[in-house]
Structure formats: structure tokens, C-alpha cells
Amino acid sequence: MSRTKSLLRTLLVIGAASAAAVFGTFSAFSATTENGGNRLKTGDVDLSDNDSGSPMYLDLNAAPGTTVTKCIKVTYNGSLSSDVKLYVAGAVGALGDYVNLKITPGTQPATTGLACDPAFTAETGGAIFNGELDDFAIAHSGWANGLADTPEGSSAWAAGSSVVYKVEVAVQDVAAAEGLDTNAHTFTWEARNR
């Protein structure tokens, strides 16, 4: 074997040994740290009622003195603490000036549709509104000026909170109410998280 080949083999063996030593040295020193399990999931706002899509009142031939009393249960099932406000978006018709409206929050043992149970119990403060329908619609027309209410003893709505609202409407016995209409209107309870 020639001297050049022998020298070349020697250099190759030394180079391979050096490379193994270097790799061995780097792989012998190692450290890691971790912060695992990171995750975000948003909560929710969930508000429902027991009206099954039926209006609280619908009488297209109401006489003076006609009175309707209904109870609607509003339930909060969201995971985020929320405020709830009640309003009627949009104007009501001319009869709204001659319809008395009383809204009283409370509880009742049974909630069958929109019927009021004889055992309905008003909250300590009593009615949260007692006036004319058109005044309610003007004063409480959206979230910004909605009528705020919380379950008795609470400062916010939380999962499982509910309130039964007794809604009473009565057509005033005045000649000026004849032939007028409130037009279709919607009571809206809206929840927004804090």
C-alpha cells in the first residue's frame, strides 16, 4: 500500500473519531422546559322563555276594560355572568296610549305555558313598571335604555337564574280608544355578559 493511501486512511479514521467525539459531546448536554395544556374556550350567553312562540296577548276585538294577565318565565343558562334588560323595540300604535301595562317580577311553583299560577309571589320591590304601554315603549326602546332587572337577591344573572314576569294589560274605558290598534309589538329580554 502506498504511503499516500495509508496517510489518507489515517486521516479518515481520525476525522471519523473526532466527529463521533463532537456529536457525543453535544448530545450528552441537553435541557428543556415546557408549558403545556394551553387553551382558550369562550363562555356563552343563553337566555330563553317558556312562551312556546305564543304572544302574551292577542285580541283583535277588545272592548273597553278588557284585561289580560299572563306570566312568562325567563331563564338564563349561560356560563358568563350577565345583565338582562327588557324593552319594546319600535313604536306601538295609537291604542298604546290607552292601554295600562303592569310588569311584576316574581316566582311561581308551576309554569304551564303563559298561565299565571295562583301561587305567584311578587318580588319584594313589587312592579318594575306600572304605566301606559306607549310610555314603556318610549322609555325602554332598546338595550341602551332597557329596563334592567335581576333575580331577587342577585346583582347579575348566572346559570340557572330565572324570573317569572307577571304582565298585565288593560284597555282603558275611554271613548278615545275606540277603533285604535297597538299594532304588533315584541317584548324583548336581552342578556349581555359583564
pLDDT averaged over consecutive 10-residue blocks of the chain (194 residues)?
A: 63 62 65 96 97 95 97 97 96 97 95 90 97 98 98 96 97 97 98 96
How far apart (Å, rounded) are the C-alpha atoms in residues 62 and 98? 12
135: closest CA among 74, 80, 182?
A: 182
Q: 128 and 111 in contact (C-beta within 8 Å)?
A: no
Cα–Cα distance, 31 to 16 (Å, whole number)? 27
Compute CA distances 127 → 85, 106, 114, 130, whole Å: 15, 9, 18, 7
* Helix (H), strand (E) at residue 75: strand 67-76
The Cα 20–Cα 168 span in angstroms is 90
Please give the Cα distance from 165 to 47 (Å, whole number): 14
* Among 6, 83, 87, 7, CA closest to 45: 83
AA letter at 149: D
**Residue 98 pLDDT:** 98
The pLDDT value given to residue 76? 98
Helix extents (H) in 43-101: none
Cα 148-47-186 angle, rounded to 5 deg:
65
Joined together, the cell numbers standing for residue 175 give 271613548
Instruction: Please state, in angstroms and rounded to a whole number, the distance separating the CA atoms of residues 103 and 190.
Output: 16
The secondary structure of residue 97, as a DSSP letter, is G
Q: Which three cell numbers stand for residue 168?
A: 298585565
Give the pLDDT confidence score for residue 34 in this predicted structure: 97
Q: What is the pLDDT of residue 40?
A: 96
**pLDDT at site 12:** 67
State the pLDDT at residue 155.
Answer: 95
Residues 126-165, buried b or exposed e (16+ Cβ, 10 A)?
Answer: ebbbeebbbebbeebeeeeebbebbbeeeebbbeebbbbb
State the pLDDT at residue 100. Answer: 98
pLDDT at position 17: 60
β-sheet bridge partners, residue 68? 169
> pLDDT value at position 5?
65
